[in-house]
Amino acid sequence: AQTVTQSQPEMSVQEAETVTLSCTYDTSESDYYLFWYKQPPSRQMILVIRQEAYKQQNATENRFSVNFQKAAKSFSLKISDSQLGDAAMYFCAYNGNAGNMLTFGGGTRLMVKP
């Protein structure tokens, strides 16, 4: 079974600075998808960014980008120019060949200091 590990339970960043959230995963599959979801205090799960494993180019969505290292099974999220609204729980998730069933990491709580 696939596992997803987020080794940082909490992180903090100064507003306007850059922060990187770590995620590693374990899989024997070669084709899969990786996601970062954001959960603000409203509880809603919001997709931040996705990466397809067969694509070597790292995904980017505005201030959010990933560093995908397939051989190392690492998928970190970089948030640039952090804003107060970025404060939330962030979950890394894996979706393999079994279908659209996400396996989630334990989450990282990001605090943004003004």
Partner 1 sequence: DADVTQTPRNRITKTGKRIMLECSQTKGHDRMYWYRQDPGLGLQLIYYSFDVKDINKGEISDGYSVSRQAQAKFSLSLESAIPNQTALYFCATSDSRDRVAGELFFGEGSRLTVL
User: Which of 30, 101, 111, 113 is in the footprint of partner 1 by CB under 8 A?
Assistant: 101
Stretch that binds partner 1, among 13-21, 47-55, 59-67, 72-80 (CB under 8 A): 47-55
Tokens linked to 38: 């954001």
Contact 6, 23 (CB under 8 A): yes
In the complex with partner 1, the residue whose CB is nearer, 35 or 68, is 35
Q: Is 87 helix (H, G, I), strand (E, B) or coil?
A: coil
The contact mask relative to partner 1 for 50-79 (x = CB under 8 A, - = no) is x-x---------------------------
**Total number of residues binding partner 1 (CB under 8 A)?**
23
Q: Which helix (H) or strand (E) holds 25?
A: strand 24-26
Contact 94, 32 (CB under 8 A): yes
